[in-house]
Structure 1
Amino acid sequence: MELTIAGLDDIAGVLNLHKKYQVDTILEEDKKDGFVTTSFTREQLTKLIEEEQGLFIATQDGAVIAYVMSASWQFWSGWPIFSYMTDRLPTLKYAGHTLSAHNSYQYGPICVDKAHRGSGLLEAIFDFAREKMATRYPVLVTFINMINARSYAAHTQKLGLEVIAEFEFNNNQYFELAYDTSKALTHSQK
């Protein structure tokens, strides 16, 4: 297995993995094991790679088996939920920071192929992406749909993200979570 910052040649593999677990295309029986809510196009991933260097992947035998997206709030501004979250940032505090679009970034989605879950890949790719983004931002921020229990458990129990708020958007309830990017995952978390 190899962890790397994605290049343009990796987009097709990321989109294939994404389609398997995106809420609109996931098999109903797989939904209980977690899902990704946001859709992405090839053009959006190209911009994420070229302008943000914010797509991190794990590959095995040439196939993308996991990805993490991380980018500035400006990158995410085209999606209504992220604009809403950006507007709320100044009302939130974490790790000694009043949050802003300058001192935090949006982490996620993250997706790990079902065949590799429970292997430590989640922790490895999270920490790889966190380390790269820590050079630009002290705080990672994300959200999880309250009905996505598996993702919530993974992020709070395995990765140590902390709930800093709850919000409603488009008739869905979300947890908003944060993480201090200067903190590498500890052995107890991995």
Structure 2
Amino acid sequence: MHLQLADLSDIDGVLALHQKYQIDTILEEDKKDGFVTTAFTREQLTQLIQEEQGLFIAKQEEQVVAYVMSASWQFWSVWPIFSLMIENLPNLEYAGRTLNTENSYQYGPVCVDKAYRGSGLLETIFEFAREKMSHRYPVLVTFINCINSRSYAAHTQKLGLEVIAEFDFNRNHYLELAYDTSKCLQLSPRHKQEPQQ
């Protein structure tokens, strides 16, 4: 297993993993274990890689088994749900800061293949992405659909994200969470992976 910043040759692998767990294409029996809400095109992932350096992946024998997306609010602003979040940023405070598009970024979606859940890979890839993004932004922000209880538990209990707001969009209720990117996540020795540069 190794961690890396994705390059263009990884897009097919990321899309294959994404499609398995995206809300529109996930198998019904897998929904209870968590899902990804946002759909992505090859062009959007190309932009995420080339302009944002914000696609972090874990590979096992050349197969993408996990990813974390992280990018500026400008990148995300083409989706209506993120426009709503951007509009509300000045009303939020976290880690002693009033949030804005310069001091925070949108983390997620994150996806871990079912075969690797519970292995510590979530914590490992989160920490890898956090460390890279911490040089650019002091605060990570994300949202979780209230019905996605597995994702909520993982992000609050395993990763330590904190709920800072709630909002409604398209007849769904969401929790908004944040994390101070200067805080290293303490990984147990068995969860440490060797990143590839």
Q: Which residue of 1 aligns with 2:177?
A: 177
C-alpha distance in 2, partners of 1:42/1:106? 19
SS at match of 2:186: coil
5 Å matches for 1:62-141?
62-141=62-141
Structural mapping, 1:34-45, within 5 Å: 34-45=34-45
- In structure 1, give the amino acid aligned to 2:64: V
SS in structure 2 at match of 1:58:
strand
SS in 2 for 1:135: coil
Q: Distance in 2 between matches of 1:134 and 1:97?
A: 15
1:81/1:147 CA distance change after superposition, 3 Å = same
The residue type equivalent to 2:98 in the other structure is T
Matches within 5 A, 1:137-152: 137-152=137-152
Structure 1 gaps, min length 5: none
Question: CA offset at residue 187 of structure 1?
Answer: 4.3
TM-score (norm 1): 0.98
Structure 1: which 4+ aligned runs deviate by more than 3 Å? none
Which residue identity does 1:152 align to in structure 2?
Y
CA deviations over 1:43-95 (Å, ceiling 9, x no partner) = 00000000000000000000000000000000001000001000000000000
Map 1:51-62 to 2 at 5 A: 51-62=51-62
Aligned AA (1:58) = A
Code of the aligned partner of 1:17:
L
For 1:179 and 1:63, how far apart are their aligned partners in 2? 29
User: How many residue pairs get matched?
Assistant: 189
Q: Secondary structure at the match of 1:131?
A: helix
Residues 101-130 of structure 1: per-residue CA shift (max 9 Å, x gap):
000000000000000000000000000000
- By relative contact order (CA 8 Å, sep 6+), the higher-ranking structure is 2
Cα deviation code 1:144-184 (max 9, x no counterpart): 00000000000000000000001101110000000000001
CA–CA distance in structure 1, aligned partners of residues 137 and 66 of structure 2: 23
Distance 1:164 1:154 in 2: 16
Give, as a single letter, the amino acid of the residue that structure 1 aligns with 2:69: M
- For the residue of structure 1 that corresponds to 2:69, the secondary structure is strand
Give 1:186 shift: 2.2
In angstroms, what is the RMSD of aligned CA positions?
0.8
Q: TM-score, normalised by structure 2?
A: 0.95
SS at match of 1:52: coil
In structure 2, what is the equivalent of residue 160 of structure 1? 160
Supply the AA of the counterpart residue of 2:149: A
- The gaps in structure 2 that reach 5 residues or longer are 192-197
Structure 2 residue 48 is matched with structure 1 residue 48: yes
